């Protein structure tokens, strides 16, 4: 059997499963379980068949407030006053040097980290 024949057979097989799933009215997971199929394979082949134009994905039902007959609420925002600045974030840097030495340094800014990296780069 050629690769094209094998692919055509798989497409036919998965189309039958997808039609069976739709006709069953069950969830994809329930159909897969009932037929001993891997759920990931169902999703995979559904995606392949949609991309290749063999299967048409139905539009999802509208779930917006308008679709349910509800009037949408206007967004509301509250003014917030900032009373104090945030403390600097503590950065913990762990160094594992080639000679086996280790160091742990507490930093409060990225500038300090850049200075350490610069100093290490200048070392022979």
Contact 75, 65 (CB under 8 A): no
| Residue 88 neighbours by CB under 8 Å, 6+ apart | 108, 109
Q: What is the pLDDT of residue 7?
A: 86
Tokens of 46: 């559904």
Tokens 């134009």 correspond to what residue?
53
Which stretches of the chain drop beneath a pLDDT of 50? none
Q: What is the pLDDT of residue 68?
A: 65
Contact 81, 54 (CB under 8 A): no
pLDDT digits (tens, 9 = 90+) for 86-114: 666 778 888 887 788 888 888 888 788 88
Q: How many CB atoms lie within 10 A of CB 113?
A: 14
Q: How many CB atoms lie within 10 A of CB 77?
A: 5
- What are the two backbone dihedrals, phi and then psi, of residue 7, each rounded to the nearest 5 degrees? -65, -45
User: Which ranges of 25-83 would DSSP assign to H, the alpha helix?
Assistant: 28-34, 39-51
Q: What is the pLDDT of residue 26?
A: 92
Alpha-carbon gap, residue 21 to 14, rounded angstroms:
10
| Residue 43 neighbours by CB under 8 Å, 6+ apart | 28
């Amino acid at each position: 059997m050629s690769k094209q024949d094998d692919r055509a057979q798989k497409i036919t097989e998965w189309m039958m499963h997808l039609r069976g799933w739709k006709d069953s009215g069950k969830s994809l997971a329930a159909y897969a379980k009932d037929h001993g199929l891997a759920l990931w394979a169902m999703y995979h082949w559904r995606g392949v068949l949609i991309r290749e134009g063999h299967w048409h994905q139905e539009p999802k039902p509208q779930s917006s407030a308008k679709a349910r007959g509800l009037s949408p609420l206007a967004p509301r925002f509250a003014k917030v006053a900032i009373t104090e600045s945030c403390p600097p974030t503590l950065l913990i840097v762990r160094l594992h040097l080639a000679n086996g030495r280790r160091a742990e340094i507490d930093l409060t800014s990225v500038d300090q980290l850049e200075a350490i990296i610069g100093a290490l780069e200048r070392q022979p």
